[in-house]
Structure 1
């Protein structure tokens, strides 16, 4: 039986606590979760770098 690709996968990164605190403040300001804020930031950077991605696929 063929396995389906999960809609989301877990991505873990290490970051200094000061960066995590800054992300949390910015996410709270925008009424987003930490994960949603990071996803949006990565999407924006990928677009800046010329990597095409549909936002609906990435959220």
Structure 2
């Protein structure tokens, strides 16, 4: 909820019995954990690495 997800979506995601892999494709996960947020957490973008290796960046 601190990442801007509605309360209902957060609860439904939290109580889900789906695996982590399936939960990664939910609306709540995509809304809260955006690419910008992941970059702030220090994660590296595979797309950016590939673009750099190919000479695009």
What's the TM-score once normalised by structure 1's chain length?
0.29
Using CA pairs below 8 Å that are at least 6 residues apart, which structure has the higher relative contact order?
Answer: 2
**Structure whose alpha-carbon radius of gyration is higher:** 2
